[in-house]
Amino acid sequence: MERLSWDQYFMAQSHLLASRSTCTRLVVGATIVRDKRIIAGGYNGSIVGGPHCIDVGCYMIDGHCVRTIHAEMNAILQCAKFGEPTDGAEIYVTHYPCLQCCKAIIQAGIRAVYYAKDYKNDPYAQELFEAAKVTVKKVPFDAVISFRSLREQKN
């Protein structure tokens, strides 16, 4: 029986996390992994206890919603809150990280970024990842997993 690769497995986790997003503009999820173990996950949404875009709308300034914390940042902050080191970890994200998340990823010591979809890929972010020797790899994700075919393989 075929099973998911590690990249597919962790990307699937990121897509599952994205389903919790409260952003109306883009649904994003992120999973931080160290030694093939999930250490944190995040999705884009408002601060704890704050109003959510899906309830009250986006708070737009200069074309950006400032109400939302990005999935990557939420995952990194979860590590900080619970004392989980990120140095040497990897992050799986449903979309290419923005420039601010790129800088946070580098500062957190994350050594690899795996993303499923291109989204406004910033050339400076790419330059920063290269300079910091952070591996960046596109891992396309097919959200459809055929459980029927898996069952058929068992029988």
Just list the catalytic residues. Answer: 72
Contact call for residues 87 and 33 (beta carbons, < 8 A): no
Which amino acid is present at 133?
K
Q: Count Cβ atoms below 10 Å from residue 48 Cβ, excluding itself.
A: 6
**What span, in angstroms and rounded, lies between the C-alpha atoms of 28 and 23?**
9
Tokens read off for 82: 């619970």
Report the DSSP beta bridge partners of residue 64: 61
Other residues' Cβ atoms within 10 Å of the Cβ of residue 22: 17
